[in-house]
Structure 1
């Protein structure tokens, strides 16, 4: 899982959010950025609201007027006018107290953030912090730390994001599961898997203890770390939760794969079947694997239905090999009448005669000797047969059954040349000659 994709595009996302600024500013980008990385919308507000109080200077009317002018321009999206008002205010900086200066820099940060000039925004937010604790309400300091961390997320500077997140953790009174999830993603981005795993596990645990369902991307991150550790048992446990809370085809498939790694074949089959029923198996290889699993679990008819449906829906190619597998599944399920047409179609598409040779044997077993001889002839015409000796015996037996003794002996004598069939062929030669002699005696 590449968490970089989570934060890409955040800059465009946050700019589209309409923000009306109170004079005592809340964190400018908290809600939107946090939602984009999987943190609840109430997170930023709860952090700003539940802080210790701190005695700081108050805002005077003169500073209030400058900020009001800047806010009016910002509300109208007139960012240059907002900056002009702030520069006018900054020109008299020597007359501002620390709290007023902090609010001015905070507003600067917001305007530059809104203009997608993130480095400048970060610089001004840092100047807010430089005013010192004696000039900053706790909520403003804590909110600014979080805002800077989020902006570093936007610019993909995860090392600095961590610096400010950890400072924020040290000051925040109400560190929530969402807080740990956000920091886990930052740790992940800088390659600190140990801390990332600890934080995301903490976030999930806190949600579960409160009876809430952890967010999907939290489970995804936790699954990723377990997989990197080759801890397939815990990967399976995480996937079981994903299947339960966020049922998607990909999770069914992945869980089936983990069950396979853990040698839990029955569970693997059931999960793959669930994925199939859910429509998660769409590729030819996936569908054929499903069919092979059914066949291996002695449920060949189910396997045959998977292949048959896949071919009809054009998800499985109608090739000789696939038709042969379909025929094999029907044959294993004792459905010979369904197997034969598929095998004949496969044989006609094959460039070798083996499938026709197999059909000759099937028809002989069904006591359809004429069909057996016909299939055998097609097999010999195509050639490339792996065991021609076996086909010669089939043709010898089929012709003998039709009392074509001379033809039967011709094929059986060819079978004698192969040591693998020599003994059986000689037995049939003896039998056929005896039948031929008996027929002659009856004719006399």
Structure 2
């Protein structure tokens, strides 16, 4: 059987899924069903008093910002620092500190930026509007985390959650990433799920943490559900197809695993030897032997699959099982050339015998003898019978007499010797 109709049907279904333009279905698992909102959208947000700056302060701030705009960072930062130190107004100190931190950040000097972000947040409480303070909390948390103060970073994100009235997938992802890095996958899962849920444009990084959080909790069924969504959302990400196929194997769903790998193959996603070997093995397991051989041979011909004995043997055996004798003959010959012994030449000879191609069988048997085989008596016996069928009686007698030296083949060889002698007596030999 060259193709499995059930597998083809599943693969076709997957094609439809991948080309679907339906609304994205958020992956729901037993673990994500337990996720609850992390924010309270109904809480009241405090409104800070309307604040302003004196004309003198405004001029100094404007001058400093002009220096920064002209890429005069040292001068601009120095002017802002002087303004920060000289002011006693918390609103002014918060705004100025924020600009200093921003200036350092633009130069990628995050270590210097961090204390000013902290100052902006500290002085800004009760002075700045809610959204601005929330943005500061995220900035400070991110920088805290980058310099190694991870506990403080998590505390700031939790503070953001406690005071937020709006879902922000970036913040959810940030919290999930922090938890995942600390190997707290149970705590990472729900923030990752909410990040995926509230992001308008799907992001691989969000899905990756959601997947990892399931897998590290040994939720293979949940991991599979997430990956099914990932291959739909990111159909060109070949690694997701491979992972999904692997998940199905862990669930003993071999046909689904095969269908996924074949879908990757049909989409032109095969890049490695493992890809070809995996699909070939899956076809072999499902007893689609011809396709198994064909896939692995394609990888071999493309130079992706190594011409090693075990790969060549797999191709040959699967052609043989699928009754493609002519292809198997060629494949076993190729396998025999790569092998250290002559066993595969002997198998090739057996296939020639099936086809009654006696001359070709003899050539293969001679090669088997030259390279060496475990059962030498079998080679002499098979060669003797092939020579006898060609009427080469003298050569047949020599081969069969050699076969009698091996106990396993003695009686059969003697029977053929009698047959050859009879042919000689009746002048039925060509030589």
Bin the TM-score by the shorter chain. 0.7 to 0.9
TM-score (norm 2): 0.79
- Once the two structures are superposed, residues 73-114 of structure 1 have per-residue CA deviations (whole angstroms, 9 ceiling, x without a partner) of 122221122123224424532xx4322222222222222323
Aligned match for 1:78, one of 72, 75, 78: 72
* Secondary structure of residue in 1 paired with 2:123: coil
**Residue 162 in structure 1 maps to residue 161 in structure 2:** no
Structure 1 position 261 matched with structure 2 position 250? yes
Residue of structure 1 aligned with 2:415, choices 430, 435, 438: 430
Flag the 1:416–1:92 CA change in 2: closer, same or farther, 3 A: same
Q: Which of 41, 58, 61 is the matching residue for 1:64?
A: 58
How far apart, in 1, do the equivalents of 2:96 and 2:273 lie? 62
Aligned twin of 2:298: 309
Q: Give TM-score, length-normalised by structure 1.
A: 0.77
Alignment gaps of 5+ in structure 1 = 1-46
Q: 1:118 to 1:213 in 2, by over 3 A?
A: closer
More relative contact order in 1 or in 2 (CA 8 Å, sep 6+)? 2
Say which of 138, 144, 149 aligns to 2:136: 144
For residue 229 of structure 2, what is the aligned residue in structure 1? 241
Residue 150 of structure 1 aligns to a residue whose secondary structure is: helix
Query: Among 277, 293, 296, which residue is 2:282 paired with?
Result: 293
Task: Give yes or no for contact 2:101–2:112 (8 Å, CA) kept in 1.
Answer: yes
State the alpha-carbon separation in 2 of the partners of residues 91 and 405 from structure 1. Answer: 113
Displacement of 1:380 in angstroms is 1.5
Shift of the alpha carbon at 1:442?
7.9
C-alpha separation in 2, matches of 1:201 and 1:191? 17
Per-residue CA deviations over 1:217-265 (Å, capped at 9, x if unaligned) read 1111111122222222111111111111012211111111111111111
Structure 2 partner of 1:38: none
Aligned residues: 385
For 2:119 and 2:420, the matched residues in 1 are separated by 110
In the TM superposition, residue 51 of structure 1 has moved relative to its aligned partner by 5.4
Match of 2:30 in 1: none
2:176 corresponds to 1:193: no
Could you give the per-residue CA deviations for residues 269-291 of structure 1, whole angstroms, max 9, x where no partner exists?
11111222233332224323322
Alpha-carbon separation, structure 1, partners of 2:253 and 2:289: 20
Following the alignment from structure 1 to structure 2, what is the Cα–Cα distance between the partners of residues 328 and 243? 33
Counterpart residue number, 1:396: 384
Q: CA RMSD in A?
A: 2.9
Contact 2:185–2:217 (Cα < 8 Å) also in 1: no
Alignment of structure 1 residues 375-386 onto 2, 5 Å: 375-383=364-372, 385-386=373-374
SS where residue 130 of structure 1 aligns? helix
Is this contact kept in 2: 1:252–1:272, CA < 8 A? yes
Pair 1:432–1:172, CA change in 2 (3 A)? same
Q: Gaps spanning 5+ residues in structure 2: where?
A: 1-40
Superimposed CA distance per residue, residues 189-228 of structure 1 (whole angstroms, 9 cap, x where no aligned partner) = 3333222112112333445xxxx56422111111112222
- SS of corresponding position for 1:100: helix
Q: CA deviation at 1:373?
A: 2.1
Q: 1:53 to 1:104 in 2, by over 3 A?
A: same
Q: Secondary structure at the match of 2:214?
A: helix
Higher deviation after alignment, 365-374 or 298-307: 298-307
User: Residue 416 of structure 1: CA displacement?
Assistant: 5.2
Aligned pairs (5 A) from 1:1-400: 52-90=46-84, 92-93=86-87, 96-131=88-123, 133-206=125-198, 212=200, 214-247=202-235, 248-383=237-372, 385-400=373-388
Contact 1:294-1:302 within 8 A present in 2 as well:
yes
In the alignment, the residues of structure 1 paired with residue 193 and residue 342 of structure 2 have an alpha-carbon distance, to the nearest angstrom, of 60
Which SS does the other structure have where 2:270 is aligned? coil
Tell me the secondary structure at the aligned position of residue 135 of structure 1.
coil
1:256/1:295 CA distance change after superposition, 3 Å: same
Asked if the contact 1:57–1:98 (Cα under 8 Å) also holds between the matched residues in 2, the reply is no
Cα contact 2:404–2:414 (8 A) shared by 1: no
Any conservation in 2 of the 1:56–1:99 contact (CA below 8 Å)?
A: no
CA–CA distance in 2 between the matches of 1:125 and 1:349?
67
Task: Report if the CA contact (8 A) 1:392-1:411 is conserved.
Answer: yes
Which string of whole-angstrom CA distances, capped at 9 and with x for unpartnered residues, describes residues 120-169 of structure 1?
32212222333364434334433322221122244354322212212222
Bigger Cα displacement from structure 2, 346-355 vs 429-438: 429-438
Distance 2:127 2:179 in 1: 32
**Alpha-carbon deviation of 1:430?**
3.4
Q: CA deviation at 1:406?
A: 5.6
Q: State which drifts further: 67-76 or 50-59.
A: 50-59
Q: Tell me, in whole angstroms, the C-alpha distance in 2 between the residues paired with 1:304 and 1:126.
A: 64
The 1:380/1:73 distance shift into structure 2, 3 A limit, reads same
- In 1, are the aligned partners of 2:241 and 2:261 still within 8 Å (CA)? yes
